[in-house]
Amino acid sequence: MAADEIWRGTVRDVRDPSELLERAVRYDGRVWSIVTDTVRLPDGTVVERDIVDHPGAVGIVALDEQDRVLLIRQYRQPVGGYLFELPAGLRDVAGEHPWATAQRELLEESGYMAREWHVLVDFFNSPGGSTEAFRCYLARGLSEVDGGRPATGEAEEAHLPRTWLALEDAVDLALSGDLHNPTTVTGVLAAAAARDRDWVTLRPAGDDMWTLPSP
């Protein structure tokens, strides 16, 4: 192994973009766009990379007093099937804090509100081809609003059956390959890990959306 392929520094993701030479918009869609970036890598190599320019999203691990997690069942056309998912949504409202987006999405997709909110985990959904940054919140102290879920959804979101699972059961389903949504898998595993650490890893819900720090 080459000496320069052994990392001896701090293990932490950092922002250190390559030189952007050109950006061409290939498709400008309703929610996201596809662009081609021409960049010069640190070794001087010039490459083109196709990228989905995505607004980002949030998800919510809603836990009740019995440590059961709320999942909704939703049809997803790209994979041609029904997935059990955490309540989640795009950050497609200009200027809206991700915490506010999460509160709105929990209400719209489940009919619940939460008294206690924390940041659970952050991740890039597909960093090899997309800018999508994802934040998953932990919501506790749940209460169902009068009248249940508001009628705000359409098409695939018009009918969202929900179920409650013990957190341990949700983890088992994720590890057995019976759950596939990345928000669900990441969220339930992170919630279980945080609970095992007595929740000391939780961050304030009002923190700004996670971005890569500078080196």
Active-site positions read 157
SS (H, E, C) the chain: CCHHHCCCCCCCCCCCCCEEEEEEEEEECCCCEEEEEEEECCCCCEEEEEEEECCCEEEEEEECCCCEEEEEEEEEHHHCEEEEECCEEECCCCCCCHHHHHHHHHHHHHCEEEEEEEEEEEEECCCCCECCEEEEEEEEEEEECCCCCCCCCCHHHCCCCEEEEEHHHHHHHHHHCCCCCHHHHHHHHHHHHHHHCCCCCCEECCCCCCCCCCC
* 138 in Cβ contact with 47 (< 8 Å): no
The distance of Cα 182 from the centroid of its chain, to the nearest Å, equals 8
